[in-house]
Amino acid sequence: MQNIKRICFIVTLLLVSSAIVHAQPKEVKPLKIGDKVPDILFRQVLNYSSKTARISDFKGKLLILDFWHSWCTVCVAQFPKLKTLQDQFKDKVVILPVGFDFFEKGSIEKLLNKRKGTRLEIQMPTVVQKEHDSLLLRIFPVHRGFPQEIWIDKQGRLLAITDHHALTPTIISRFRSAGTRLNPYFFSSS
């Protein structure tokens, strides 16, 4: 009977230890240019056909994630430019604004609602990134401030991380045609 109790105790200890080890979060490191981007789930997407989206939903197209905050005047002022570029490149490119809703809860939706029905209305699909969804900031750290652009190629690989000045028709065309062969550190619009 003693042996059975010991065996049960050891088996229970092993199972609990195994569960604890598997429950530990894996260390997430920033991605490097050329790395495969994980298939991230966006839990809240506004102005979109679905309430959620994944990176893989945009596979086969150049995907540009535009990181922004509602308090960033440059970020908000560039929405017409984003819409113009999206319209210009149609189905070949997806520009997806990702609003970070960390400091003032509901600020992204409040801004979008405030602009509804005005010439400044933001009609593009927009991701609302909550504080607990910080995977994006861990794999794409913000080095230059907001807005920040994350460029992902048709195969789901990281092409570049830039500021908003790189969002030009010329540079978008270069990324579309050259893909990962383009030097991500050179962004001349000439």
pLDDT digits (tens, 9 = 90+) for 24-50: 346 778 999 999 999 999 999 999 999
Identify the band that residue 20 occupies on the pLDDT scale cut at 50, 70 and 90. Answer: very low
Looking up tokens 């819409």 gives 83
The per-residue pLDDT for range 151-173, each reduced to its tens digit, is: 999 999 999 999 999 999 999 99
pLDDT in the model for residue 181: 53
pLDDT, residue 48, reads: 93
Instruction: Provide the token pair at 10.
Output: 């050891």
Which are the contacts of 131, defined by CB distance < 8 A and separation ≥ 6? 101, 102
Among positive and negative, which fits the CA dihedral 63, 170, 186, 149? negative
Q: What are phi and psi of 153, to 5 degrees?
A: -75, 180
Predicted local confidence at residue 144, as pLDDT = 66
Q: Which residue has the higher pLDDT, 131 or 75?
A: 75
pLDDT at 97: 96
**In sequence order, what are the beta bridge partners of 66?**
97, 149
pLDDT at 32: 92
CATH number of 28-181: 3.40.30.10
Q: Please give the pLDDT value at position 179.
A: 59
Of 158, 165, 166, give the one whose Cα is nearest residue 141.
158
The 3-state DSSP class for residue 159 equals strand
Write down the domain spans for the chain.
Answer: 28-181
Beta strands in the chain (DSSP E): 41-42, 45-46, 53-54, 62-68, 93-100, 126-129, 148-152, 158-163
Strand locations in 47-132 (E): 53-54, 62-68, 93-100, 126-129
Sheet with 45-46: strands ordered across? 45-46, 126-129, 93-100, 62-68, 148-152, 158-163
Q: How much is the pLDDT for 145?
A: 78
pTM exceeding 0.85 = no
Q: What is the pLDDT of residues 63-116, one digit of tens each?
A: 999 999 888 899 999 999 999 999 999 999 999 999 988 777 888 899 889 988
pLDDT at 28: 78
18 confidence band (pLDDT: 50, 70, 90): very low
* Pair of tokens at residue 131: 């504080």
**Ramachandran bin of 47, using left for φ above 0, alpha for ψ from -120 to 50, beta for the remaining angles:** left
- pLDDT at position 94: 96
